[in-house]
C-alpha cells in the first residue's frame, strides 16, 4: 500500500474526517470573512485595519482570509487591496454576535492578581506574544486544520470572562479538556516561531502556517519542539497539562489571522457544532 494512502487512513482513524481546504466563513466579531478577490498573483496585497491578510485559494479562486477583531462593529467594512495598478477597496458585511459571560474560580490567586514582582515577567512576556502575533512569512497558507487533541470542549472562544468574580479579557481560544499527558498534534504544517513558559499561558507553542495564520497551544505539560523547527500536520508537539492560569488539565488552542485572535472552531470541521 502506498505510504500516502496509509497516512490518510491513519489520520482518518485518528481525527475522523479529512481536513477542510478552507475554514468556515462566519463574518462576526471574533469570526472570519472570506472575501473573493478580483485577481490573484504575488504582487497583490490585501489589508484590513492596516493589517496584512492571508490569501487562500479554493477551486483556483483567491480569497482574502479576514480575521475580524472582537472589537469590530457590525455593519459594512472595507478591506484594502494593493496591486501594481494601484489600490482599491472591497466591501464586506460584519454581522452582530453577542458572547455569553463565564465565571471561573481560580485557586491560585496569584494568577488572577499577580504580585508586583510578577509584573516585570508579565510585561516581558507580553512583548514576546506581540512579536509572535505579528509574524509574517510569505509562503502558501496551510489553513486545512485538524483537531489537535481528542477530548471534550470545555470552553469556547469569546466568552466574557470573570476570574474569582473579577472581569478579565474575553476568552481568546478554544479549550479542549483531556487528561494530563494526552498528546497534542499540530493542526497543520508550519514552523515553530515561539515556545516557552509564560505566567498566564504556562508552557506555550506558536506555529506559523504562512501569511500571518498562526496556531497557539497553551497550558502544556511538556513541550517537544523548539523555535525554528519545521512541523508536519499531526506531529506531536507536546502533551496536555495544567500549567499557567487554569482550573484543570486542558489544551487552550488559539488561532491568529492578521494579528487577530479568531474562533478556532471555524477551522475545525469535526468539532464545529454550527457547520
For Zn ion, the binding residues (CB under 5 A) are 173, 175, 252
Name the DSSP letter for residue 173. Answer: S
Ramachandran area for residue 112 (φ above 0: left; ψ -120 to 50: alpha; else beta): alpha
Give the pairing type, strands 45-48 and 51-52: antiparallel
Distance CA 165, CA 250 (A): 22
Q: Which is nearer to Zn ion, 77 or 147 (CB)?
A: 147
Number of neighbouring beta carbons within 10 Å of residue 140: 13
Which of 45, 111 has the CB closer to Zn ion?
A: 111
Shorter beta-carbon distance to Zn ion: residue 148 or 173: 173
Q: Which lies closer to Zn ion via its Cβ, residue 173 or residue 234? A: 173
Q: How far is the CB of 156 from Zn ion (least distance, A)?
A: 9
Smallest distance from Zn ion to CB 162, Å: 14
What does the radius of gyration of the chain's CA atoms come to, in whole angstroms?
Answer: 19
Closest to Zn ion by CB, 43 or 108: 108
Residue 91 near residue 63 (C-beta atoms within 8 A): no
Smallest gap from Cβ 246 to Zn ion, in A, equals 8
Q: Smallest distance from the beta carbon of 268 to Zn ion, in angstroms?
A: 14
- Residues 63 and 34: their CA atoms lie apart, in Å, by 6
Please, what is the minimum distance in Å from the beta carbon of residue 13 to Zn ion? 28
Least distance to Zn ion, CB of residue 254, Å: 8
**Secondary element (H or E) of residue 132:** helix 116-133
- The pair phi, psi for residue 116, each rounded to 5°, is -55, -40
- The phi, psi pair for 11, rounded to 5°, reads -70, -30
C-alpha cell at 228: 525554528
Closer Cβ to Zn ion, 191 or 252, answer by number: 252
In terms of CB distance, is 72 or 172 closer to Zn ion?
172
Q: What's the min distance (Å) between Cβ of 262 and Zn ion?
A: 14
Question: Minimum distance between the CB of residue 260 and Zn ion, rounded to whole angstroms?
Answer: 17
3-class SS of residue 128: helix
Residue pair 126/119 in contact by the 8 Å Cβ criterion: no
Report the alpha-carbon distance of residue 19 to residue 40 in Å, rounded. Answer: 24
142 vs 252, which CB is nearer to Zn ion? Answer: 252
- Looking at beta carbons, which residue is closest to Zn ion? 252
What residues does 157 pair with on adjacent strands? none
Amino acid at each position: 500500500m502506498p505510504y500516502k494512502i496509509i497516512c490518510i487512513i491513519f489520520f482518518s482513524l485518528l481525527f475522523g474526517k479529512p481536513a477542510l481546504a478552507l475554514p468556515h466563513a462566519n463574518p462576526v466579531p471574533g469570526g472570519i470573512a472570506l472575501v473573493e478577490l478580483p485577481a490573484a498573483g504575488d504582487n497583490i496585497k490585501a489589508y484590513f485595519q492596516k493589517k496584512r491578510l492571508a490569501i487562500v485559494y479554493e477551486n483556483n479562486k483567491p480569497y482574502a482570509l479576514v480575521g475580524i477583531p472582537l472589537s469590530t462593529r457590525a455593519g459594512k467594512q472595507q478591506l484594502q487591496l494593493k496591486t501594481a495598478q494601484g489600490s482599491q477597496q472591497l466591501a464586506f458585511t460584519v454581522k452582530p454576535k453577542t458572547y455569553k459571560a463565564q465565571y471561573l474560580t481560580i485557586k491560585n490567586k496569584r494568577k488572577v492578581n499577580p504580585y508586583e514582582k510578577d509584573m516585570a515577567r508579565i510585561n516581558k512576556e507580553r512583548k514576546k506574544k506581540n512579536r509572535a502575533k505579528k509574524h509574517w512569512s510569505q509562503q502558501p497558507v496551510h489553513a486545512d486544520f485538524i483537531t489537535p487533541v481528542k477530548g471534550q470542549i470545555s470552553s469556547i472562544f469569546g466568552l466574557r470572562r470573570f476570574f474569582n468574580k473579577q472581569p478579565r479579557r474575553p476568552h481568546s481560544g478554544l479549550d479542549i479538556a483531556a487528561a494530563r499527558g494526552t498528546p497534542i498534534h499540530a493542526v497543520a504544517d508550519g514552523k515553530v516561531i515561539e515556545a516557552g513558559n509564560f505566567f498566564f499561558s504556562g508552557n506555550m507553542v506558536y506555529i506559523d502556517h504562512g501569511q500571518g495564520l498562526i496556531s497557539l497551544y497553551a497550558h502544556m505539560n511538556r513541550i517537544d519542539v523548539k523555535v525554528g523547527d519545521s512541523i508536519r500536520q499531526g506531529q506531536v508537539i507536546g502533551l496536555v497539562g495544567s500549567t499557567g492560569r487554569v482550573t484543570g488539565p486542558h489544551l487552550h488552542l488559539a488561532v491568529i489571522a492578521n494579528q487577530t485572535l479568531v474562533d478556532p472552531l471555524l477551522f475545525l470541521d469535526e468539532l464545529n457544532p454550527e457547520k
